[in-house]
Chain A
Amino acid sequence: MNQKYQIHPVLKVIFTFSLVILLSFSHNFAFVMTILVYTLFSLSLMKGNQILAILKISLWVSLFTFIILLPSNKYSSVMITVKVFTTVTTINMLPHSTKWSSITGAFKFFNIPDIFILVLDIAIKYIVMLGNHALQLIWALKLRSIGKNRDKYQSLSGIAGNLFIKSVEMSKEMYSAMECRGFNGKYITLEKKRLSMVDLLYMLIHIGIVILFFYIGKIVE
Chain B
Amino acid sequence: MHIPDNYLSPSTCAVMSAAMVPVWVVSVKKVKKGITKTNIPILGIGAAFSFLLMMLNIPLPGGTTGHAVGGTLLAILSGPYAACISVSIALLIQALLFGDGGILAFGANCFNMAFILPFLGYFIYKFIKDRIPTEKGELFGILIGSYVGLNMAALSTAIIFGIQPILFKNPEGIPLYSPYPLSVSIPAMTIPHLLVAGVVEALFTAAIFSFIKKVSPGMIYQGREQKTKAVYALIVLLICLTPLGLLATGTAWGEWGVDEIKDVISGGNQPLGFTPQGMENGFTFNSILPDYTLSGLPDIAAYILSAVAGTSIFLILFKVIAAFKKETFDKNSKLPSE
Is A in direct contact with B (CB under 8 Å) within the complex?
A: yes
Residues of A within 8 A of B (CB): 17, 20-21, 23-25, 27-31, 33-34, 36-37, 40-41, 43-44, 46-49, 51-52, 55, 57-58, 61, 64-65, 68-69, 71-76, 78, 80, 82-84, 87-88, 91-92, 94-95, 103, 113, 115-116, 118-127, 130-132, 134, 136, 153-154, 156-158, 160-162, 164-165, 167-168, 171-172, 174-176, 185, 216, 219-220
The segment from B239-247, B255-263, B294-302 that touches chain A is B294-302
Q: Which of B4, B43, B207, B312 contacts A43 (CB 8 A)?
A: B312
Q: Enumerate chain A residues within 8 angstroms of B7, measured Cβ to Cβ.
A: 80
Shortest beta-carbon distance, B114 to chain A, in Å? 12
- Complex contact A127–B279 (CB within 8 A): no
CB within 8 Å for A24 and B51 given contacts A33-B305, A115-B31: no
- Complex contact B45–A171 (CB within 8 A): yes
- Asked if B95 is at the interface of the complex by the 8 Å CB criterion, the answer is yes
24 A-B residue pairs with CB within 8 Å: A20-B5, A25-B10, A30-B294, A37-B308, A40-B309, A40-B313, A47-B319, A51-B320, A57-B98, A57-B99, A61-B4, A73-B179, A73-B273, A74-B276, A84-B4, A88-B99, A126-B44, A126-B45, A153-B207, A160-B208, A161-B207, A167-B45, A171-B45, A172-B39
Shortest beta-carbon distance, B216 to chain A, in Å? 5
Which residue of chain B has the shortest Cβ distance to A33 in the bound complex?
B294
Shortest beta-carbon distance, A101 to chain B, in Å? 14
Q: Within the assembled complex, what's the spacing in Å between the Cα atoms of A127 and B85?
A: 16
- Complex contact B103–A91 (CB within 8 A): yes
Which residue of chain A has the shortest Cβ distance to B98 in the bound complex?
A57
- Complex contact B288–A68 (CB within 8 A): no
Shortest beta-carbon distance, B62 to chain A, in Å? 7
- Complex contact A116–B45 (CB within 8 A): no
- Complex contact B93–A119 (CB within 8 A): no
A contact face: mostly helix, strand, loop, or mixed: helix
Which residue of chain B has the shortest Cβ distance to A158 in the bound complex?
B211
- Asked if B335 is at the interface of the complex by the 8 Å CB criterion, the answer is no
Q: Within the assembled complex, what's the spacing in Å between the Cα atoms of A92 and B37?
A: 33
Interface size on B, residues (CB 8 A): 95
CB within 8 Å for A161 and B212 given contacts A34-B297, A68-B62: yes
Q: Within the assembled complex, what's the spacing in Å between the Cα atoms of A190 and B171?
A: 47
Q: Within the assembled complex, what's the spacing in Å between the Cα atoms of A75 and B175?
A: 8
The 9 closest A-B pairs by CB, nearest first: A122-B44, A161-B211, A157-B207, A48-B323, A171-B41, A123-B47, A48-B319, A44-B315, A30-B296
- Complex contact B297–A30 (CB within 8 A): yes
CB within 8 Å for A65 and B4 given contacts A41-B312, A76-B175, A167-B48: yes
| Most B C-beta atoms less than 10 A away, residue of A75, A153, A165 | A75
Shortest beta-carbon distance, B214 to chain A, in Å? 8
Instruction: Tell me the B184-216 residues at the A interface (CB within 8 Å).
Output: 203-204, 207-208, 210-212, 215-216
Instruction: Tell me the B268-309 residues at the A interface (CB within 8 Å).
Output: 272-276, 279-281, 283, 285, 288-289, 294-297, 302, 305, 308-309
- Complex contact B319–A171 (CB within 8 A): no
Q: Within the assembled complex, what's the spacing in Å between the Cα atoms of A74 and B172?
A: 14
Which residue of chain B has the shortest Cβ distance to A34 in the bound complex?
B305
- Mark B82-102 against chain A: 1 for CB-CB distance below 8 A, else 0: 000110011011011111001
- Asked if B311 is at the interface of the complex by the 8 Å CB criterion, the answer is yes
Q: Enumerate chain B residues within 8 angstroms of A176, measured Cβ to Cβ.
A: 38
Shortest beta-carbon distance, B168 to chain A, in Å? 10
Q: Which of B13, B32, B272, B320 contacts A73 (CB 8 A)?
A: B272
- Complex contact B89–A123 (CB within 8 A): yes
- Mark B163-188 against chain A: 1 for CB-CB distance below 8 A, else 0: 00000001000111111100000000
Q: Enumerate chain A residues within 8 angstroms of B85, measured Cβ to Cβ.
A: 115-116, 119
CB within 8 Å for A120 and B323 given contacts A23-B6, A175-B40: no
Q: Within the assembled complex, what's the spacing in Å between the Cα atoms of A185 and B297?
A: 51
Q: Enumerate chain A residues within 8 angstroms of B61, measured Cβ to Cβ.
A: 68
